[in-house]
C-alpha cells in the first residue's frame, strides 16, 4: 500500500485506537515449540479488538488490518474478543517491534503499551 492509498483509506475507515501489547499463556507455551513455528507466528500476527469497533471500521473477522504508528506499520489478522472499545490487543512479537519507536523518554524503557495507533482494513 502506498502512502497516498493509505491516506485515502484513513479518510474512509480509519480510527485511532489504543494499542495494548502484552503476553498470553498460549504464547508462553508456544515459545517452547519455537518462535519460528507457524502457531507462534499466527499468534503474534493477530490483533484482537471489540466487535463493535470492527463493525465501525468495516473489518471482518479473519481479515487483515494494517496497524500504523508514527514509527512503523505491520499487518495483522483481526479477530473479535473481550477488549474494551477503543483499544486493540496484540501479543508481543516481531510485528509489534515494528510499531515501537526507539525513544525511551530518558528512562531506558521503550513504550510498548498504551500508545495511539491507526487501524485500517486491508
Contact set with other proteins (CB under 8 A): 18, 20, 22-25, 28, 34-36, 71-72, 82-84, 87, 89, 92-94, 97-115
Asked whether the beta carbons of 73 and 66 are under 8 A apart, the reply is yes
Within 10 Å of residue 117's Cβ, how many Cβ atoms?
Answer: 19
Question: Look-up: residue for cell 495511539?
Answer: 116
Within 10 Å of residue 65's Cβ, how many Cβ atoms?
Answer: 23
Nearer to other proteins, 17 or 65 (CB): 17
- For residue 39, the minimal CB distance to other proteins (Å) is 15
User: What is the maximum span of the chain, computed from C-alpha positions, in angstroms?
Assistant: 42
- For residue 8, the minimal CB distance to other proteins (Å) is 25
Nearer to other proteins, 8 or 41 (CB): 41
Q: Are strands 113-121 and 46-49 parallel, antiparallel or unpaired?
A: unpaired
- For residue 86, the minimal CB distance to other proteins (Å) is 8
Nearer to other proteins, 62 or 82 (CB): 82
SS3 4: helix
Nearest to 15 by CA among 46, 58, 75: 58
- For residue 64, the minimal CB distance to other proteins (Å) is 20
Nearer to other proteins, 8 or 69 (CB): 69
Amino acid at each position: 500500500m502506498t502512502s497516498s492509498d493509505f491516506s485515502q483509506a484513513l479518510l474512509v475507515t480509519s480510527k485511532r485506537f489504543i494499542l495494548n501489547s502484552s503476553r498470553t499463556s498460549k504464547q508462553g507455551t508456544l515459545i517452547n515449540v519455537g518462535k519460528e513455528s507457524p502457531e507462534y507466528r499466527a499468534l503474534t500476527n493477530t490483533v484482537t479488538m471489540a466487535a463493535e469497533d470492527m463493525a465501525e471500521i468495516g473489518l471482518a473477522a479473519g481479515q487483515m488490518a494494517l496497524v500504523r504508528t508514527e514509527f512503523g506499520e505491520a499487518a495483522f489478522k483481526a479477530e473479535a474478543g473481550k477488549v474494551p472499545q477503543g483499544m486493540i490487543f496484540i501479543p508481543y512479537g516481531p510485528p509489534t517491534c515494528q510499531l515501537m519507536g526507539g525513544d525511551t523518554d530518558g528512562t531506558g524503557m521503550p513504550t510498548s503499551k498504551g500508545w495511539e495507533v491507526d487501524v485500517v482494513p486491508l
